[in-house]
Amino acid sequence: MHKRYLPITIAAALLFLIALGGYIIPATPDELPVRVLLDNKGGKIILNHTAHADLMDQDCSACHHTTGNSPNPPACADCHAAKFDAAFRTGHQKTLPGDQCGTCHHPTASINKFMHDEHADDYAGGDCQACHHDTSIEPTPQSCSNCHMDGSNSVLRLRDAAHARCADCHVDLYDEGIKGCATCHERNPAKTDEPEKRACSSCHDTPTDQLVPTTMNAFHAKCMGCHEEQGTGPFGDDACYQCHMK
């Protein structure tokens, strides 16, 4: 009697092995993965990659924000680590392409979006002392960098001095954190052979795990933010079970 079920058992086993191989064997570089298994301490997630790529009209940058429209974006965990520790600091230098160093290590940035005349006329009403020091320090307003220099121990650095002054008026931009920087600053990409790669803390006071979200925080913000914006799919604290498998 049990022999009748032998073909069914064999067929089921083959289908299982084929399905398992689809998750284990990576797609070829020019082929988009059909599904992606995301490991997470809250339970693994099977992401239907093909469906999401179709929904976004094959626009990789909709989710992979550092790659433009490259068909082979780096893995999220290459930048968004589970934990920013010594292992990440060592490993990311091998996993990330050299031309992406400037994404995080950006030693230079311009403020060419800052318009001095507009600030002087519209915001300060012609009162230079609203931004520059009052007459007890500098009788005639001068360039901030004349006194505030990087590396100086006697006075604030230029960046800190300017930020402290600008923050008095631009509280809303500072409340946005790093997102508000682009209103004034335009990053100058570091060259691929740029020798200077400074630590985040040399410019940013925000801890690294907040400045660069961990894998879990990055997934939650990106996935649930898109679901909420589209008005479909799971989002919110009570919808965890719709993605996570125990």
> Digits of tens for pLDDT over the chain (246 positions)?
466 667 777 777 777 777 666 655 555 555 678 888 887 777 888 888 888 888 888 778 778 876 666 667 777 888 888 888 888 888 888 877 776 777 777 766 777 788 888 888 876 567 888 888 888 888 888 888 888 876 666 778 888 888 888 888 888 888 887 778 888 887 766 565 655 677 777 777 778 778 888 888 888 888 888 888 888 788 877 788 888 876
DSSP string, 5-30: GHHHHHHHHHHHHHHHHHHHSPPPTT
Place of tokens 């570091």: 190
**What does DSSP say about strands 35-38 and 109-110: parallel, antiparallel, or unpaired?**
unpaired
pLDDT of res. 35: 85
Distance CA 53, CA 208 (A): 30
Per the DSSP assignment, residues forming a β-bridge with 34 are none
pLDDT of res. 28: 52
Cα 226 to chain center, whole Å? 15
Helix (H) or strand (E) holding 109: strand 109-110
pTM above 0.85, yes or no: no
Tell me how far CA of residue 111 lies from CA of 43, 56, 181, 187, in angstroms.
44, 33, 10, 9
pLDDT of res. 150: 67
Place of tokens 């059909």: 34
Distance CA 163, CA 170 (A): 10
pLDDT of res. 192: 55
> Domains in the chain, please, with CATH?
28-80+213-242 (3.90.10.10), 109-187 (no CATH)
Distance CA 73, CA 64 (A): 7
Secondary structure class of 38 (helix, strand, coil): strand
Secondary structure class of 70 (helix, strand, coil): coil
Sign of CA dihedral 123, 125, 127, 128: positive
Are the C-beta atoms of 60 and 73 separated by less than 8 Å? yes
pLDDT of res. 185: 83
If we measure between CA atoms, which residue out of 157, 135, 153 comes closest to residue 144? 157
